[in-house]
Chain A
Amino acid sequence: VDPTNFKTCEQSSFCRRSRKVQSTGSKYAIIRGTVNTYSDSLTADLINKENHHQFTLKLEALVGSTFRLQIDEKQPLRPRYRVEHALKDEPKTTRIRVQESDELSITVGTSKAVIHGDPFRIDFYENDVLVVAVNAKNWLYFEHLRQKAKAPAEPADGGDDAQQQQQENAEAAQPAGETVDDPGAWEENFKSHHDSKPNGPEAVALDFSFPATEVLFGIPEHADSFALKSTSGTEPYRLYNLDVFEYILDSKMALYGSVPVIYGHGPERTAGVYWQNAAETWVDIYTAETNVVSSLVNFVSGSRKSTPPSAHFISESGIVDAFIMLGPKPMDVFKQYAALTGTHPLPQLFSLGYHQCRWNYNDERDVTSVSAKFDEYNIPMDTMWLDIEYTNGKRYFTWDKFKFPEPLTMIKNLTELGRHLVIIIDPHIKRDTSYFFHNDCTENGYYVKTREGNDYEGWCWPGPASYPDFFNPVVRDYYASQYQLSKFNTVTEDVMLWNDMNEPSVFNGPEVTAAKDLVHYGNWEHRDVHNLYGHMNIMGTFEGLQQRDPNQRPFILTRAHFAGSQRYAAIWTGDNMAEWAHLQYSIKMCLTEAVAGFSFCGADVAGFFGNPDSELVERWYQTGAFLPFFRAHAHIDTKRREPWLFSERTREIIKEAVKIRYSYLPLWYTSFYELEKTGAPVIRPMLTHYPLDKETFSIDNQLLVQQRLLVRPVMQQGVSKVDVYFPAVDDKKNGDYWYDVETFQRQERTGYESIPVNEHKIPVWQRGGSIVPKKERPRRASTLMLNDPYTLVICLDRQGKAAGTLYLDDEKSYAYRDGKHIHVNYEFAENQLTNRFIGKPNYKSDAWLERIIIAGLERVPSSATITVNGISQQLEVEQRNGAVVVRKPSIKMDVDFAVKLNA
C-alpha cells in the first residue's frame, strides 16, 4: 500500500497539537475543597492552571484490582461522547477505604490509588509496588469545547497570515483565554478531502507510566512486533479502523481494528490500561531499552533506575475514560480486561475446524465440486465460504440467480455432509431504487447522514453506496430482522456470516473511510464514533442470527473491531500477502489480538494477495493449523490453490496439517470454553506463563496454546532447523519439561535449542505436567466427530505428575448455558489417572475414552487397572513411539474412574 494515502501524526491536527505537550508539559491541579468521597468512588474538580477551564474527575474502584478514571469538562458547551456498547455491562464497583494525610489515598484490598493535587497525578500501587502512574509526565491535555469566532475561517492548512489572524481573533473571543493556534483547529484538509470540524478542537490526551515493568504490548491492530517499540522520533502507533490492502509490515500504521488496551510487563508485575475512546487515537510509546539517551545517562550517572516505560494516548474527541488494571500477573490482567469487555462466547465446534474460502467460488457447481474434492482426497473441511460475487450485483441478502439459481440445494449438499456455508454481507448498501434494502433505508432515514442532513453517499463494491447507521437501535433491529428466514429465505439457519469492509471502507472517502463530519444517531459526529462502526455492525448481525435461531450459537467473522467486539465475532488479519514475512506476522498479530480479547484470530492461509509457491503454502497450513481461526483465502486475481492443485507432496503436507488440527479440536474447544468462563486467552505469548524469564518478553515467533502446547511453526523458506526457546520458570534457568508431540522426545533444558525440521515437521511440544484431550480420528467435518472417542495425552513433569481439563457438550446449541455439558479435570500422580468433574456432568455423550498415552514414565508398566464403581478390569499397555499407551479404557466421558499403572 502507498503509506502517503494515510495520515501521519503531523498531518492530523489534533495529534500534532496534543503531541506538542510532550515538550512543554501541562498544568492541571485538583481544586482544593472539591474532593468528595463515596463508598466506591471519589470525585474532584480539576483545573487547567493556564486557561482556568474546569473539569470533573471521577475515580471508581472496580471489582478485581481495577480502577476507572473519568475526566470530563465540568460544564461543556455540548455533551462530549462517551463510548457505549464496548463494555460487557456496567462494571461492578467495590468499597473503598479513604485515607487523607499529606496525600489522598484510596485502598481496595491490596490495591491503592494515591492522588496528588498539584501537579495532578495518580499513582496506583499493587501490594505497595507502584505499577501505574497517571499523568506522571504532565501530558494531560484536554481541549475544552468552545465557540467558533464569528468571522468565517479560511480553508485551513494554508498557513497565510490572514488566516492566522482570524484564528487568533477566534481565540480572543474565548473567555478561557486559551490559544489553540493550530491551523487545523476548525477545519482541515487531507489530500482532496475537507473536514469541516464544526465543533473545533476537542482532543483528549493522557500519559500512563508503568514503573514496575520493562516491556509494553497491546493496542492492536498493527502489523508489528508483539513488544511495542519506542515511538520517539517516529510516528506514534495509530488506532483508526481503516481498509489497508497489502499492508506494510513492521509498521505503526492503523489497520482494520482498534483495541485501545495496553499492558506493561516486568518480572515482578504486570499491569494494564484500557483507554476507552472510539475516536481516532494515536499512542506514543516510551520504553527504556530503546531510549538510548536515557539509558546512557543512567549508565553514566550510575543510576539503576531508568525511565519507566510509558504510553501517551491521544484521541481526537470524547472524554478521558481509562481503566487501570493492576494485575499483578499477566493472566490476572488479561482476565481483568476480559471482565470489562467480555470474551468470545464458546463458538460452535465447526468454526474451529478448517475453513475453505476464496474470492470467489464461481457458482453452485464450483462450491459443490470443491467440497467433493476434499472428500476425494480425504482432507477434513468444515466450511465453504462465499465472497461478494454470490450476490446479485453486490446487493446483500440477494443471490446472483444465474450463478446460484438454487442456493438451498447447494447449502443442503454441504450440510448433508456435515459442512457449513458462510456468506459475506458487508455494510455498504447499493444505491439502487430497485433494491428493497436501499429503499427501506432511504424511506426510513436509516443511513448515516452528511452534515447537511442528506444520506451520505460513498463508493464501494456496488458502486454508489450508503451506510446504515447501526448506532441507531431501530436501524440495528431492522438490519437484524433481515436475517429472519421468513425474509432471507434463500439460506438456512446453518448459514453463518462474514462482515467485511466495516471500518467502514469507502473507496472515495478520506483514507478510504467515511468522512469525520458525518452525523450519526444521537447527533454524534462520525469523528466521535468511528472505531465503533464495525462493532455496531456486528452487534446487529449477532442479534439477527440469534433471532433467526435462538438456540444456535452464531458464527460471525469481522474485519473491523473495537474493544468488546470479541463478544460477537472472530477476526482475521485482513488483506495480507503471500509472502514469508506476512506468515511470520500472522503470529505476532494474533498474539497481540489474543491478549486484547480476540483469541479467535487467524490470517488468510497462504496469503490473500499473490501466488505462493508450494513451500510457502505448506508452511502456512502448518502455522494456520495452530492459530485459532484457520481459513484459507485468496484474492480473485490469484491462481486457484485448493490442496489438490499442488503436487502430491504438498497435498499430503496440507492434509497432515489439517488432520493435526482436527486431532486437537478437543483442546481448542476446551480452551474456548475456558476463555468464555475465565477470560484466559486461548493462545498466549510466552511471557504469560514465564513472566520471570526476560527472554520471553520479546518472543513473538512462538506461542502457547493455553499452558499446554508450545508451538513454533517453521516460517522461513528453505530451513532445515529452527531455534526454539524453552522458557525458564525462575531466575535459575529451571524450566518445564517439553515433549515433542510426534516423537515424545523430551526437552529438559531451558534456553534456545536448534531443532531439525523436514518439510513435514511442525515443531510443537506438550508441556510436562499437562494433559491434552484429543480425537485421533479426523473426519471430513468436525461435526461428524461428535461421538468419536477421545485420547488423553499425559506428559509428566519432574514429579511424575500432570493435569488437564476437557470440556464437551453438543457443540452447537446454547444448552451448555443450562449446564448441559461435561467439564472434567484429569489428574495424574503416583502412577494413577483420576478424573474430577467441574460441576455436575450433565450431558449425555456417546463419546468414550479410546486410549491414554503417557509420556515421561520411568519404566513401562506391565498392565493397567481401571476401576469404575468399585469394579476393576485389566487393560493392556504397550510402548509406542516413546510413550506408553493404555489400550481402550472404553468408558463414557461422564463416568468417574481411576486408571492405575501396574509395575
Chain B
Amino acid sequence: DKDNNIRRPRGVSLAKAALYQPQSDGSWSCLDGSKRIPFVQINDDYCDCADGSDEPGTAACVQMRFHCINQGHQPLDIYSSHVQDGICDCCDGSDELPAVGCANTCLELGAAAAIQRRSEAELHKRGAERRQEMITRGKQLKADRVARRSELQARIKEQESLKAEKEQLKTNAEALETEALEVYREQQRELDANTAQAEQEPQQMRHEASLSFVRFDANKDGFVEITELMIDMDLDKDRNGVVTVEEAKYFLDERERVDLDAFVTLAWPRIKPLKMLADGLFQPPQTEEQAATEAPLANEQQEAQLEIDPPTNEHEDLEDEEEHYDDEEDEEEEPDVGVGEALPEFEATTETTTTTPNYDPETQRLIEQANGARQALEEVERQLREIEHEVKEIEEQDAKDYGVNEEWAMLDGECYTFEDREYVYTLCPFDRVSQKPKNGGAETTLGRWDQWFGEGDNKYTRQKYAQGAACWNGPQRSALVNIRCAVEPKITAVSEPNRCEYSYDFETPAACDSDALAATARAHDEL
C-alpha cells in the first residue's frame, strides 16, 4: 500500500498526516493551537503541547494515542503509556524500539481475523435460516393467540349467561331446600353446643401450622420459601417424583415465600391434606358414588366453616373440599358426645362409618335437587375460570417482547440446561433461570423473567431475570443472559461474577442476523 509511505511522524495515522507538516520557517503548531514549537521537537520524547500532539510516537505525553498501521490487519490506536514499555501492543511492532524485537504478526492475525469473519458470516447465514423459521412460527403463534383470544372472549360471554341461568336455578332450589330443612332447625341448638368446640379449631389449627412452619423453615429466616417446600416429597401432587417450583408455589398461594401468618392462613390449609394423606390418616373420595353422597356434607361443612376459614379466591376446587374433609377428620379424634345423627355434617366420613341422614324422602329430594343446582353452577364457574385463566396467559405472552419479528416467541416454553462441576443450571427463556446442586438438594430460582437488557441498538442481545430466591444475608438472586448466534440453541457458560448475580452465555439461531452482520462488516470496511 503506497499510501503508507507518505511521510509523517511516527505514531501518526494516515488521516492525520497532513496535520504534521512543518511551516516554511521550520516551526509547527500544536494541534490545539496552544503553542508553536520547532518541527524537530515532534517526537523528541518531551511533551511540549498541552494536548500532547507533539509526541504521537513516544510515551512523553500521557494523554496521547499512538497509531499502529498494522498493515495486513487492522490499524489500532494505543495509549501512549503503552509505547516503548517493552511490551508489543501493535501487531506490526511499531510501538516498541527494534531492540525489543517485536515480531510482525499482522499478516497472520489478519488472515486469522478474515477466517474468523468468514466463519462468523457463515454461521449467521446458516443460523438466519433457522431464525427465519422461528420468525414464521413466532408470527403464527401470535396470530393463533389473537384468534384464540377472540374465541375465548366469545366463550366467556356464553359462559356468563349460562352462569346467570344456573345461579337462578340454584337460588330457587336452595329456597325450597331451606324451607324443607326448617323442621330440622331445632336441632340447631345442639349444633351450637358444638360451636364452642369448633371455635377451638382455629387455635388448634394455628398450633399445628406453626409446628409445621418451623419444620419447613429450614434456614430459620422466618419465612417458608419455595425451595424449602421442594424437598418435601409429600407435596408432589402429580406424583411425578419431583416437587416442582409450580407445585411448591401452589402451596404458598403463588408466592415466593410466606411468613408465619400467611403460612397459617394460606399455606397450611393446602399442605395439610397432603400431609395427612401421606400419614395415611385421610382418604380422599374414591368413587363418584361416594363423592355424591358426601357432597352435601362437604357443602354444608363449607358453609359452616366460612367464618373460620375463608376459602381463597382462586382455588376453591377439589383441594378445598379435601381440606374440609380433613378438618372433619380432626374432629373425629375429639370427644363426640350427643351429636351423631342429628348433626350429619359433623359425622365421621370414613367409608366404613358413613351413615345416611334421617331426612324424610321429600326433604331428601329437595336437598339433592339443591345439590345438583349447586354443582351445576360450580361446573359453569369452573369452566369460566379456566377460560379466564387462558386469556390471562395469552395476555401475559402478548405483554412479553418476542422481538421485532416475533423471532423469540418459540423460546417461550423451552428449557435449556448446563452442567458444571457442582450445579445443573436451567434457563427457560421468558420464564425463569435456576440452579440445582448435582449432589442432590433443592433447586434454587436464580431469577424470573424481567426484561430485555441489551444496551442501545443491541437490546436483543441480553436478558435480565430478577427476583430470584433471596441470598442469605444478601439480595435476591438475579441473572443476566448474554445471547449470541449459533445454529443450535445451547447454554455455553454460567458464572457468578457477583455474589448472587449470575451470568449465562446462551446461543440460539434467533440471534443470527446476517443482514445486521453484513451492515457492521461494511461499516467496518469503510473505516
Contact = CB atoms under 8 A, between A and B. Distances in A.
A777 B474 contact: no
Contacts of B46: 850-851, 887-888
Contacts of A137: none
Interface in B76-133: 79, 81-82, 85-87
B499 A638 contact: yes
Nearest to B475: A639
Nearest to A640: B498
A639 B81 contact: no
A779 B85 contact: yes
A154 interface: no
A636 B471 CA distance: 13
B81 A378 contact: yes
Contacts of A888: 44, 46
B252 interface: no
A416 B474 CA distance: 38
Contacts of A636: 499
Contact of B86 (A375, A418, A778, A887): A418
Interface in B39-83: 44-46, 48, 59-60, 62, 79, 81-82
B474 A780 contact: no
Given A417-B87, A418-B87, A784-B86, A779 B498 contact: no
A777 B81 contact: yes
Max chain B C-beta neighbours (<10 A), residue from A416, A417, A636, A777: A777
B421 interface: yes
A637 interface: yes
Contacts of B48: 887
Contacts of A778: 62, 81
A524 B302 CA distance: 78
A310 to B, nearest CB: 45
Interface in A398-437: 402, 416-418
A779 B59 CA distance: 9
A887 B86 CA distance: 26
A39 B60 CA distance: 62
A155 B412 CA distance: 69
A788 interface: yes
B26 interface: no
B200 interface: no
A777 B62 contact: yes
Contacts of B87: 416-418, 780, 784
Contacts of A402: 421
B180 to A, nearest CB: 69
Given A637-B474, A850-B46, A887-B46, A418 B499 contact: no
B140 interface: no
Contacts of B355: none
Nearest to A365: B495
Contacts of B44: 888
A135 B496 CA distance: 61
Nearest to A776: B62
Interface string A870-894: 0000000000000000011000000
Given A636-B499, A640-B498, A780 B473 contact: no
B361 interface: no
Nearest to B63: A378
Contacts of A780: 81-82, 85, 87
A472 B491 CA distance: 54
A362 interface: yes
Given A637-B499, A887-B46, A418 B421 contact: no
Nearest to B59: A777
A659 B81 CA distance: 11
Interface residues of B, number: 22
Contacts of B441: none
Contact of B495 (A362, A788, A789, A851): A362
A794 to B, nearest CB: 18
B497 interface: yes
Contacts of B59: 777, 779, 788
Nearest to A402: B421
A94 to B, nearest CB: 51
Contacts, number: 52
Contacts of A777: 59-60, 62, 81
A636 B500 CA distance: 11
Interface string B386-416: 0000000000000000000000000000000
Contacts of A417: 87
A393 B226 CA distance: 31
B473 A637 contact: yes
B29 to A, nearest CB: 16
B79 A640 contact: no
Interface in A832-857: 850-851
Interface in B496-517: 496-499, 501
Contacts of A776: 62
Interface in B222-270: none
Interface string A378-389: 101000000000
Given A416-B87, A887-B46, A779 B495 contact: no
A366 B496 CA distance: 11
Contacts of A789: 45
Contacts of B496: 362
A366 B503 CA distance: 13
Contacts of A637: 473-474, 499
Nearest to B473: A637
Nearest to B496: A362
Contact of A418 (B45, B79, B85, B495): B85
Contacts of A640: 497-498
Contacts of B60: 777, 850
A608 to B, nearest CB: 14
Interface string A779-799: 110001000110000000000
Contacts of A850: 46, 60
Contacts of B85: 418, 779-780, 784
Max chain A C-beta neighbours (<10 A), residue from B48, B86, B497, B501: B86
A776 B55 CA distance: 15
Contacts of B497: 362, 366, 640
A200 to B, nearest CB: 44
Contacts of A851: 46
Contacts of B473: 637
A779 B82 CA distance: 7
A378 B44 CA distance: 23
Contacts of A375: 82
A583 to B, nearest CB: 23
A416 B85 CA distance: 11
A76 B501 CA distance: 63
Contacts of B79: 378
A416 B89 CA distance: 12
B498 A639 contact: yes
Nearest to B493: A365
A831 B5 CA distance: 48
A477 to B, nearest CB: 37
A375 to B, nearest CB: 7
A771 B109 CA distance: 48
Given A378-B79, A778-B62, A888-B46, A639 B421 contact: no
B49 to A, nearest CB: 12
A780 B82 CA distance: 7
B499 A779 contact: no
Contacts of B86: 418, 784
A784 B474 CA distance: 41
B189 to A, nearest CB: 62
Nearest to B422: A402
Closest A-B pairs by Cβ, 4 of them: A784-B85, A888-B46, A378-B79, A779-B81
Given A362-B496, A417-B87, A776-B62, 9 more contacts: A375-B82, A639-B498, A639-B501, A640-B498, A777-B59, A777-B60, A777-B81, A778-B81, A888-B44
13 contacts: A362-B497, A378-B79, A418-B85, A636-B499, A637-B473, A637-B474, A638-B499, A659-B62, A777-B62, A778-B81, A788-B59, A850-B46, A888-B46
